[in-house]
Structure 1
Amino acid sequence: MHDWQSLDAEEREYQFNPQKSVDKPASSFQAHRTMMSRICRQSMEAHLDVKYGPGPLHGLDIFPAGPDSPVHIFFHGGYWRIQDKENFSFIARDLVASGVTVVIANYDLCPAVTLDGVTASALNAIEWCFRNIDQYGGDPHRMSVSGNSAGAHLCSMVVATDWAARGLPRDIITGAVMISGIFDPTPAMHISVNADLALTEEIIERNNTERLPPKVDCRNLVIAGGKEPWAWIDQSYRYSRHLRQHGGDPEVHILPGYHHFNIMDEYLEPSSPIARAVQAVCGAGEQR
């Protein structure tokens, strides 16, 4: 039994509902990033709302960096139930400048679908990119991913997927940067967000990347903020231990001074640990 299971309801909510662990609304921490995202969409070359599937949220924002460039795909957080790609265009600013084509993905959200549907749509976005990103100058054989919170979980599902069974390269990505991730959905079934998620034991089993063996042999970096609740940070340690038990060698970084929401500022600081990690998995500047 994990220690969190002995917590009372109030403490469990604090530990696993990030909006309860900060003293201001989550939206207040993204105001300047929202402005930067707007600037990026207006000032950079961008192909917005490119469809990768039939659903209303099956869209990508693609910021090209030129012919044969590495590709970085980002999945946003929001506990699989809120947020939108347009709030994360800021991620493209420095990456495109360094020669990386950036794809910001939307995906199906609860409660319109279950977590199974959320994951399926994210994996479909990866497959679409492999098959089509060359039309936008990206090199499909140099794709990497990053994501925060629920988006980190989706990155871990990319790592846990048998891509060869889908007729694609087994190692479809070169690396994954997973920030402030929730990798075992079980705690979410026991807090208020489950009103939207409607998790069941069966859904959790299919999406618990602390249990699913990794299938992609790639570089993995697992990052969390030092000011996040201890039980949330513990998921990063447990997931990294799981990767090691299956022969992986993940990097793990706990960044002092950052909580669940301001940690995303690091994408806008070129020398920050997250910016360097993303550049590393992209292989920016490297030749094929």
Structure 2
Amino acid sequence: MSGVQDSSRPLVYGEHPDQVADLFLPAAEPGPRVPLVLFFHGGFWRAEHDRRHVAGFARALTAQTGCAVASVEYRRVGRGGGWPVTLSDTAEAADRLPDLAAQAAPGRVDPARVVYAGHSAGGHLALWAALRHRVPDGAPGRTDTPPAVLGVLALAPTADLEWADELGSGRGAVAAFLGGARAQVPDRYAAADPAALGAPAGRTVVVHGTLDEALPVAMARRYASRAGATLHELPGCGHFDVIDPDSAAAWPVVTEALRTFVGAAAA
């Protein structure tokens, strides 16, 4: 592993205290600028879960792959988030953070080589960020052109919001996030659900444990089949193994999946 340099201050992409990201950089060495991973943490979009619980993962991902990682915070349910704010924050982060990271680390981060990544609800946000050209006109975060992203690495993602709501995942987390079930707010599901929006920009890789206790691996299978994504199933792994650098089963799969996007520059 290479060393890691943590940014002294978070990157600020908006006016709210939660519109920030922690930047992790590989140890300074001469050479080409490195790719940037925008990583969205999970926690079923709820305020009690923030980016601090993935700091070790982000630091290890930087050390192992040589990529810069921006661990993104966003407004969450119970702290000013939910529909449409969480999605608007995601879009703002995707639009602004590559250039902010490049400015914070001159000559070290390549803002033109970006991967969206996330875990659980953050996996949903990463997928959605790469689908903004497919959301309906007038929906939050809508863009007319596909996002300029190398791809999406979705770790145990909430890839099908309607299905997750039917399962009651996260104690009704989807309904809390969107303001109701699909029958009550169909327009919101149409604008926010990756399963309804088609294939994201760039390549998509999904990593999901077969023993995931929060979201069934069947959800990942159906999503990958419909969206044309590559699925790596991890036998015997649960929901949090995919963000555990000490997991002998999951960690090599996660890091190698990232390398398929960024190539030898992050080797």
State the TM-score bracket (shorter-chain normalisation): 0.7 to 0.9
Q: Summarize the alignment of residues 63-142 of structure 1 with structure 2, pairs less than 5 Å apart.
A: 63-65=24-26, 66=28, 68-81=33-46, 82-97=48-63, 98-111=65-78, 112-135=80-103, 136=105, 137-142=108-113
2:220 corresponding residue in structure 1: 236
**2:199 maps to 1:214:** yes
Deviations for 1:65-91, whole angstroms, at most 9, x for unmatched residues? 356111111111111114111221223
Match of 2:10 among 49, 55, 60: 49
- Pick which of 48-57 and 107-116 moved more: 107-116
Unmatched segments (≥5 aa) in structure 2: 135-141
Amino acid at match of 2:263: G
Residues 71, 282 of structure 1: 8 Å contact kept: no
After superposition, the C-alpha distances for 1:3-53 in whole angstroms (9 at most, x for unaligned) are: xxxxxxxxxxxxxxxxxxxxxxxxxxxxxxxxxxxxx9xx83324322101
TM-score w.r.t. the length of structure 1 is 0.73
From 251, 254, 270, the counterpart of 2:230: 251
Give the equivalent residue in structure 2 for 1:60.
Answer: 21
Q: Is the 8 A contact 1:268 1:275 kept in 2?
A: no
- 1:146 maps to a residue whose letter is A
Alignment partners' CA distance in 2, 1:47 and 1:268? 29
Aligned residue pairs total 239
Residue equivalent to 2:120: 149
Aligned equivalent of 1:5:
none
Shift, 1:284, TM fit: 4.8
Mean Cα deviation higher: 118-127 or 184-193: 184-193
Unaligned runs of 5+ in 1: 1-39, 245-249
2:99 alignment partner AA: R
Separation in 2, partners of 1:127, 1:205:
22
More deviation in 138-147 or 43-52?
43-52
1:174-199 Cα offsets, whole Å, 9 max, x none, are 12111111122224545333474333
Are 2:242 and 2:251, in contact at CA under 8 Å, matched by a contact in 1? no
Would the alpha carbon gap of residues 130 and 162 (structure 1) be closer, same or farther in structure 2, given more than 3 Å must change?
A: farther
Q: Which amino acid aligns with 2:39?
A: F
Q: For residue 283 of structure 1, give the secondary structure of its aligned residue in structure 2.
A: helix
Aligned to 1:279: 259
How many angstroms does 1:146 deviate by?
1.3
Q: Pairwise mapping of residues 9-48 of structure 1 onto structure 2 (< 5 A)?
A: 44-48=5-9
One-letter amino acid of the counterpart of residue 140, structure 1: P
| SS at structure 2 position matched to 1:206 | helix
Secondary structure of 1:64's partner?
A: strand
Aligned to 1:204: 189
Aligned AA (1:204): Y
Greater fraction of residues in helix: 1
TM-score, normalised via structure 2 length: 0.78
Contact 1:91–1:268 (CA under 8 A) maintained in structure 2: no
